Structure 1
Amino acid sequence: MHRRLPALVAALWWGSLTTIGFLVVPLLFAYLPSPSVAGNMAARLFAAQTWVAVACCLVLLLISRPKNAVSQYPWAQAAMLFILGGLLLALLNQYGVAPRIVARQDLRLWHSVGSLLYLLQWGCALTVLWHTLRPDGAVPKSDG
């Protein structure tokens, strides 16, 4: 496995979350003619983002261990919980929260829940990226 591939995949995941959630969607609401139009476009972008996240997480899972090996690479051992957590958060947001927002069901509550799940997924992606960028690929040793 090429050593840089996990970092590239994690960077794509984190970078896409950052770009869509913190730049593109706010710009939609700032510049499109109505919140309804912006919301519809945002929903489509977030749905596409979910599939980017799923693809990145699956690739990270597939490359987490050498061929025919039992143990994972050190970066994967440290990041596995965050890969799986980010994948779950993405799917939960898309299939649990987004339909309620589209249906305008208790909009304030579900928008807040969706934003929190998105932020948590962003944190998972950042943590995975951080672990893939460790120069030695090792898990940090504790002092205790």
Structure 2
Amino acid sequence: MRQIGRPVFALALTLWVGALWTIGGIVAPVLFSSLADRSLAGQIAGRLFSAVGWIGVGAALYLILFIVIERGSQSFRGASVWIVLLMFLLTLASQFGIQPILAQLKAEAFPREVMESLVRDRFAAWHGISSVLYLIQSGLGGALVVLEATSPRR
């Protein structure tokens, strides 16, 4: 498993963290600065963040499995597995907790735009929580990349 497992590990980690940084740091800001329709920019960004969430779910499951198989009883003594687990939990909280709340608030606001409705403040609060969790996840991903890149190979 090691011959193919380690390269797949590197690819999964690169895909997940790269997607987090690219969508959150480049694509979403460009959408909001380029499109006159902020609602459309939000819809597109929401779909992209959802896709990143699903990438995170798949990548996290593989990364955890690989770490446990490769390192055995030592898995939970190193920082890598804990970082991946925390990132995974943040992804799950966003995908299955916060995103459904935001979708419900948008539905309650319809036919108005959510930021022009009575649920604006609740939407902004949940959006802020989501943004902070995403930022934490992105930082943890960067730390994991550095940790894995500098750790000695077994």
Q: TM-score if structure 2 supplies the norm length?
A: 0.77
Query: Quick one: distance in 1 between partners of 2:52 and 2:66?
Result: 21
Instruction: Provide runs of 4+ in structure 1 moved above 3 Å.
Output: 2-5
Q: CA RMSD in A?
A: 2.3
Q: Would you tell me which structure has more helix in proportion to its own residues? A: 2
Q: How many residues align?
A: 136
Q: Please name the residue that 1:63 is paired with.
A: 66
Q: Please name the residue that 1:89 is paired with.
A: 90
Instruction: Return 128-137 or 28-37, whichever deviates more.
Output: 128-137
Query: Quick one: distance in 1 between partners of 2:74 and 2:60?
Result: 15
Percent identity at matched positions? 34
Instruction: Return 2-11 or 56-65, whichever deviates more.
Output: 2-11
Unaligned runs of 5+ in 2: 106-113
Unaligned runs of 5+ in 1: 139-144
Query: Match of 2:29, as an amino acid?
Result: P
Highest RCO, 1 vs 2 (Cα 8 Å, sep ≥ 6):
1
Query: Quick one: distance in 1 between partners of 2:102 and 2:68?
Result: 38
Query: Quick one: distance in 2 between partners of 1:120 and 1:38?
Result: 23
Query: Match of 2:73, as an amino acid?
Result: S
Query: Quick one: distance in 2 between partners of 1:9 and 1:72?
Result: 21
Q: TM-score if structure 1 supplies the norm length?
A: 0.82
Measure how far apart 1:88 and its partner are: 0.7
Query: Quick one: distance in 1 between partners of 2:17 and 2:72?
Result: 28
> Structure 1 residues 125 and 95 mapped into 2: Cα distance closer, same or farther (>3 Å)?
same
